[in-house]
A and B are shown apart, each in its own frame.
Chain A
Amino acid sequence: EDKVVQSPLSLVVHEGDTVTLNCSYEVTNFRSLLWYKQEKKAPTFLFMLTSSGIEKKSGRLSSILDKKELSSILNITATQTGDSAIYLCAVNPYGQNFVFGPGTRLSVLP
């Protein structure tokens, strides 16, 4: 059965800290891995990763995929209180529905 695991499940940091969120997966016919940020409403899209070793970057957020290790990390530098959210990792296998991880709940304290 396809599975996506995220760690840690929750994390509390202070503003200015750098955080690394982890996602690992076991799926057949991997196509892509996606990261989403969910605040009080529905998730918003952050990144889609398909190739190993190529970093995707958007402002203070960056992400990279390691297909050999079946994992991905999401980095957030110089965290701000507005980064507080649940970060969801999802994998899109060929011919199957997206599989979501449980999410990492990040709290950034002032």
Chain B
Amino acid sequence: GAVVSQHPSRVICKSGTSVKIECRSLDFQATTMFWYRQFPKKSLMLMATSNEGSKATYEQGVEKDKFLINHASLTLSTLTVTSAHPEDSSFYICAVASSGNTIYFGEGSWLTVV
């Protein structure tokens, strides 16, 4: 399966600052990557689909100006949480859909906004 690396695994930031999370597909050229958010004891919530070389497609209710997604190459997508607030604290996970129609996840990033 695809190997997906996500960084950082944990980050603490001050309220009002921005945080960038990177997602790299190490062995697979991913034209599409997905960004999920997971609250404690809840399932995965798709935030957006990141498309290489074009704008991301955001799910209903997800603020595109707050969660900036850039997919500049076939191996890298980034999620920037802008002007972070405590309610943005969550587990963010990226994923790649392989040619075999299976999703492979990165290790996830715990964001804590204080």
Interface residues of A (CB under 8 A from B): 31-32, 34, 36, 41-45, 48, 88, 90, 92, 97-98, 100-103, 105
Contact = CB atoms under 8 A, between A and B. Distances in A.
Most chain A beta carbons < 10 A, residue from B6, B49, B103, B107: B103
Contacts of A102: 42-43
Chain B, interface size category, equals 20 to 34
Interface in B52-96: 93
B43 A101 contact: yes
A101 to B, nearest CB: 6
A90 B101 contact: no
A41 to B, nearest CB: 5
B103 A90 contact: yes
Contacts of B43: 88, 100-103
B1 A97 contact: no
Main secondary structure of the interface of A (DSSP, over half): strand
B102 A48 contact: yes
A31 B102 CA distance: 11
B49 A42 contact: no
B105 A98 contact: no
Nearest to B41: A105
16 contacts: A31-B101, A34-B102, A34-B103, A42-B6, A42-B93, A42-B106, A42-B107, A43-B44, A43-B93, A43-B105, A48-B101, A88-B44, A98-B103, A100-B44, A102-B42, A103-B43
A48 B34 contact: no
Contacts of B104: 45
